[in-house]
Amino acid sequence: MTVTAGFPGLALAARRVVTPVAVAASCAQFYPRSLPPSRGKARKSAAGKPGPFAARRTLDPRGSACSISVCWVRSGADRGRRPAGTTALGPDNTFPKIGDLAAETGNDMSARTRKPSRQRVLLAQAAARIMAEQGIRDYRVAKNKAAEGLGVSRNSPHMPRNTEIEAALDEYLRLFRADTQPLELTALRRAACEAMRFFEPFRPRLVGSVLSGNATRDSRVSLHLFADTPEQVVLHLLENDVPFDTDERRLRVKADRYRDYPVYRFHAGGVGIEAVVFPDAELRQAPLSPVDGKPMRRAALAQVEALLAEAG
C-alpha cells in the first residue's frame, strides 16, 4: 500500500541534497505526530512523477512498519524523481526522534554543535600559547604560526575560530600564569587609567585584552579616542612633549565594510599605549570585534576604576 502526501511549506532549493533528517525536521514542523492521510494526489510533473514537495509513505505487507522518502522534480531536461533516502517509522506510524534518526542514518543534525576535532583543539591551544608567550594579538598571525609549528596547512578545515582561540587563551592563563597574570593585568589597568586621564578631553574608552582580562605583560593598552579631527590629538601629544609613532588601523564597521583610522603609539612607565582616533559621531557606534564579530566592548574611566576596585 502506498500513500503520497504533499508537504506544505517545505522549501527545498533546486539541487539541494535532502536527507531523511531534513524530512523528519520538516514533518515535525508541519505534522508533529505523524504523516497525515493523503489529501488528494500530490502535485505531479509533466512526466507524471511526484512534484518537488512530495513525500511518500510505504507500508510493508504486514502493515507494522513504514518508510518515508522525499522526491523532487528538476526543471528542464533534467526533470525526474530523485529519492533522498528512507528511514523507518514506528509501528504507531509516528516519526522517530531527530537524534535517533540521525544516529540511524549517520547524518548528525547538530553538526554545528559537535565537539571540535582533536586537530582543531590542538591548533587553538598552540595559537593561544603563542599569543601568551610572544605577545601577539593578531589572531590570524597566531593561527598561521600554530599551523606551521604543527605541520598543518593554513587552508585546513580544522583551523579554529577566533572565539576558540580566545577561550584557549583564557584557559592557558588560568593554568600556567595564575600566579603572575592577575598582577600584570592590574598593572596594565592602572596604566590604562593614567592614560585615560591624560586623554580626558577626548572621552577615552578602553578596549581589547586589558579590558577583557586576558592581557599579559607584553600587551598594549588600547584606547579609543573621539575628536573632531585627528590633529587635535596630535597637538595634545606635542604640547605635553610625548614622543609618539603614527600608524593606521583598519577596522570592520559593518559586516562588509571596513574603515581606516589613525593610530598614535607611545610608551609610559614601560607600558605600550595605542590610541585609535574616531570621529565624534562614532562614540556610540563601536566597530566590530575581530574575536566574535559583535560590536567591541568599550569601557569609560569609571568602569575601569570599578574593575580595579573589584580586584582589590
Using the 8-state DSSP alphabet, how is residue 96 labeled?
Answer: P
pLDDT value at position 303?
98
Cα–Cα distance between 161 and 136 in angstroms, integer? 16
Cell numbers at 15, concatenated: 539541487
pLDDT in tens, 53-79: 444 444 444 444 444 444 443 444 444
> What element of type H or E holds 59?
strand 54-59
Calculate helix-pair angle for 118-134, 139-150, nearest 10 degrees: 120
Which DSSP string do the residues of 240-297 spell out, in sequence order? TT---EEEEEEEEEETTEEEEEEEEEEEETTEEEEEEEEEGGGTT-PPBPTTTSSBPP
Cα–Cα distance between 205 and 283 in angstroms, integer? 9
Residue 114: pLDDT band (50, 70, 90) is low
pLDDT in tens, 226-266: 999 999 999 999 999 999 999 999 999 998 899 999 999 99
pLDDT value at position 115?
64
Taking CA atoms, 131 is separated from 54, 150, 165, 266, in Å, by 54, 16, 9, 21
Taking CA atoms, 233 is separated from 150, 204, 218, 300, in Å, by 44, 11, 25, 18
